[in-house]
Amino acid sequence: MKLEDILNKYFGYSAFRPGQREVIEKVLDGKDVIALLPTGMGKSLCYQLPGYIFDKPVLIVSPLLSLMQDQVDQMKQFKEKRVVALNSFLNPMQKRASIQNLHDYRFIFISPEMLLQEQVQQKLNSMELSLIVVDEAHCISQWGFDFRPDYLRIGQVLGKPNRPPIMALSATATQKVLGDIEAYLNMDSPYKFIHSVDRPNIHLGKMLFQGREEKIEWILDHVTKTAGPGIIYTQSRLKTESLSQRLLQSGVTTAAYHGGMDPLDRQFIQQQFIDGSLDWIVATNAFGMGVHKQNVRQVIHESLPSNMANYMQEIGRAGRDGEDSLAILLYAEGDEELAKFVGIDDYPVDAHVDSYISYRSRNELPTSMIHNGEISETAFRVLDYWMNQLQPADVKQRLSSMKYEKMRAVEEVMDLIETNTCMREQLVHYFGQTLENRPEDCCQCCGLQYENIIRVREIIDAPSKELNWKRRIEQLLIGFS
DNA sequence: CGGTGAAGCCATAAGGCTTCACCGGTGCGTTATT
């Protein structure tokens, strides 16, 4: 059967989107693949279709529980029953049963942490996989080094002899991220499908201010006068709350979103943003992955993103429908200091290395460092990873060079602020590509006028929009209680 | 590191000034405790 026939039979499409066919063919040939495909261009099809050709299960490593759940739900809607998400949502009994029957599933979603568990390893070693997929593979680079070190171990546990091909998927990756993906997944000269990172319909703005309050004033003014939907990225949880409060007072339908919130609230707010009952979201960088919304018109950075990869990822959430959109980077003097501080704040230091060694020499578990309040859980995991990889002196060396890298990454974002050359050109160049065409109203340095891109709200626009059904029901319920 | 805001200081009182404490992201899994 031809690939197109399979595509039609299982997915109902008549033609592949750019990149899909190449990527699938390589994998069927047994080759490793890194595919950078724009969001919404059918990344998941790249592993789902091979799943129907191969006889053996496809293993998909995924960074977020919510992401796994979405994908599983979606596949079940399409009548695929042989799909499972192996994660902490399962109770111990379900978990045991799932592991036991793992070989019977067609698609297995799993977190890196779960993947590394002994019992899972044992089972995986006893069975054959047809394909290993690492979804949102930039997480290896983005999170592996200082946050979720298990991301760096994926390659170690999956890289057995006679392993199936590995497919790494992402929307954007810098040269460095690409290198990290290839290295840490132990890939074998992978085929790379890389689309242009440029998104001509996203117009790039920047605004420089003296003080931080002025940025807020500008946002309040700008957001009340222009059309959403939009995302405002800021650095701290508190600020998401305070800024969204002020926007609410100005009549903007908005909500805060950050990692400290109740998961159900987060889900609810995300859903409201997607279905249009919220115009704006004020969020930390917790917001974004797995948010499939086509018509985001604006992305505003109230504070500096911590590196270019994040910046690209975050502005990339605008204009997925291809319509003109605006990404505005705000800067006030000294912002880079905060970005640097936050970047290296929760990070092991030399004293932690020494302490770790002394625990070991006393035959005590280094994990006690956490319970004794010496170190955060996150920093400990990072420390523990490197202590198991390198000699202590090298660990210190490594930690300091990683800190330096983080500060340098902030400086690279500062280049966007400080230089007066085309922002698009800088961005694209940073990703190791060259810019083919410059769109009209390209960026701040090419004479961008915001009002050419974003509809200015008419004064007649009532501040409170028509209530949708969800809100109506909520109000009814409040009325009765 | 740096911004912010509350408290303390002065002493005609009031408001202006200094000092100082506080705060600052991303998620998995597991488990002890309300």
- The span from the CA of A158 to the CA of A137, in Å, is 15
pLDDT of residue A461: 45
Tell which CATH architecture fits domain A202-338+412-476. 3-Layer(aba) Sandwich (3.40)
C-alpha dist (Å) from residue A461 to A222, A324, A404, A468? 15, 21, 49, 17
Lowest mean pLDDT among A211-225, A245-259, A366-380, A454-468: A454-468
CA(A211)–C1'(B18) in Å?
22
Task: Give the integer Cα–Cα distance in Å for A352 and A400.
Answer: 13
Query: Domain limits of chain A?
Result: 3-194, 202-338+412-476
Q: Cβ of residue A111 near strand B, that is under 7 Å? A: yes
Å between A213 CA and B9 C1'?
A: 28
Name A5's bridge partners: none
Give the CA-to-C1' distance from A115 to B25 in angstroms: 25
- Report the mean per-residue pLDDT for chain A: 91
A271-321 per-position pLDDT tens digit = 999 999 999 999 999 999 989 999 999 999 999 999 999 999 999 999 999
Class of the A3-194 domain? alpha beta
pTM: 0.90
Determine whether the distance from the CB of A284 to the nearest atom of strand B is below 7 Å.
Answer: yes
> pLDDT tens digits for A402-418?
999 999 999 999 999 99
Quickly give A169 CA vs B12 C1' distance in Å. Answer: 75
Tell me, in Å, how far CA of A397 is from C1' of B12? Answer: 64
- Decide whether A3-194 matches A202-338+412-476 in CATH topology: yes
Q: Is the CB of A425 under 7 A from strand B?
A: no
* Closest nucleotide to A62 by C1' from CA: B28
Residue A456 has pLDDT above 80, yes or no: no
Q: Determine if strand B comes within 7 Å of the CB of A211.
A: yes
Question: Which nucleotides of strand B lie within 7 A of protein CB?
Answer: 1-4, 23-30
Query: Is the distance from CB of A416 to CB of A179 less than 8 angstroms?
Result: no
The reply to whether the CB atom of residue A354 sits less than 7 A from any atom in nucleic acid chain B is no
A378 CB closer than 7 A to any strand B atom = yes
- The gap between A218 CA and B17 C1' (Å) is 30
Asked if A226 CB < 7 A from strand B, the reply is no
